[in-house]
């Protein structure tokens, strides 16, 4: 019997958001809206998104002993996330500088701060959390050696979900544990490198599977997503058409929802379809965590 539906191991940032008419080019200055500060970071976002959907969720992360860290802890607890695994101190809380244009597209620069101090030793010290969790999800805003240690501490029977963002080449040990590996177009092309000689997402999925993951999900924005558990078992999943306001955090909402539904026994295609609805609600609202829907709101969509 698992205590948690989902354990998220990852980053926790303060999102500093400015709306702009257009994003600046090199050497250019543009004026924007008033600065808004929101709790964010891929790990913290996924934990809140899952908890809002009703998942029993825990977060393993590190924040600074500062105002941004307290903001992040408060947002996790308000959503119902168990913060027993959130470590405090070692560096200032991570910060993401985000510009959002009128179409809802964003550009993000991250200062990792305390996220870079989440160590393999912190993972080993949290073994009890891993053994209590049905699904473990992580990203790459924490050190890669820490992600490797996550894989080595997975409990028998648990499922590992990885969104490799920001993307980088991955060790075979990590790729082999992914079920699924969740990538967008940019992430797929970085991981594939010179092997990416096609513009067809179906081909990316096949090439990624050849690197070792048990399954792959490729997100395609307004075109939906595709899921693959073998090169011959590839399914397109339609998107939900909405008027996007802000895409910040939408990928995190998708990943969290998919991981939660997989843990509940859904097929990969059904989990992706549900995750698409969750992401669709999120992009109709400003901010990251503030935009994440409850299960009832997803059902209404």
Does residue 222 have a known ligand-binding role?
yes
Does residue 15 have a known ligand-binding role?
yes
Does residue 41 have a known ligand-binding role?
yes
User: Active-site residue among 82, 122, 179, 252?
Assistant: 252
Does residue 224 have a known ligand-binding role?
yes
Does residue 54 have a known ligand-binding role?
no
Does residue 82 have a known ligand-binding role?
no
Does residue 221 have a known ligand-binding role?
yes
Does residue 219 have a known ligand-binding role?
yes
252 is catalytic: yes
Instruction: Identify the CA nearest to 132 among candidates 263, 262, 3, 264.
Output: 3
Does residue 43 have a known ligand-binding role?
yes
Does residue 93 have a known ligand-binding role?
no
Sequence ranges of the binding site: 13-15, 41-45, 141, 184, 219-224, 246, 248, 251-252, 282, 285, 287, 291
Indicate the annotated binding residues for substrate: 13-15, 41-45, 141, 252
Residue numbers in the known binding site for ATP are 184, 219-224, 251-252
Residues at the binding site for K(+) are 246, 248, 282, 285, 287, 291
Active site residues: 252
């Amino acid at each position: 019997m698992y205590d948690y539906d989902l354990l998220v191991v990852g980053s926790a940032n303060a999102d500093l958001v400015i709306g702009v008419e257009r994003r600046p080019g090199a050497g250019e200055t543009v004026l924007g809206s008033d600065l808004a500060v929101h709790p964010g970071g891929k790990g913290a976002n996924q934990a809140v998104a899952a908890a809002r959907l009703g998942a029993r969720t825990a977060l393993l992360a590190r924040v600074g002993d500062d105002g941004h860290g307290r903001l992040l802890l408060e947002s996790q607890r308000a959503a119902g996330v168990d913060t027993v695994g959130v470590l405090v101190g070692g560096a200032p809380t991570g910060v993401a500088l985000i510009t959002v244009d009128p179409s809802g597209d964003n550009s993000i620069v991250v200062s990792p701060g305390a996220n870079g101090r989440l160590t393999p030793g912190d993972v080993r010290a949290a073994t009890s959390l891993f053994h209590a969790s049905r699904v473990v999800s992580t990203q790459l805003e924490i050190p890669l050696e820490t992600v490797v240690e996550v894989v080595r501490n997975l409990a028998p029977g648990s499922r590992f979900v990885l969104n490799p963002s920001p993307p980088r080449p991955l060790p075979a040990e990590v790729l082999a544990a992914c079920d699924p590996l969740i990538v967008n177009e940019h992430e797929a092309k970085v991981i594939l490198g010179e092997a990416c000689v096609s513009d067809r997402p179906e081909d990316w999925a096949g090439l990624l599977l050849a690197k070792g993951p048990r399954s792959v999900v490729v997100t395609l924005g307004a075109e939906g997503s595709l899921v693959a558990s073998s090169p011959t078992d590839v399914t397109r999943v339609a998107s939900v058409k909405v008027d996007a306001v802000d895409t910040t955090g939408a990928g995190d909402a998708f990943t969290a929802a998919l991981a939660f539904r997989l843990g509940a026994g859904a097929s990969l295609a059904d989990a992706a379809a549900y995750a698409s609805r969750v992401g669709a609600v999120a992009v109709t609202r400003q901010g990251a965590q503030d935009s994440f829907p409850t299960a009832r709101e997803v059902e209404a969509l």
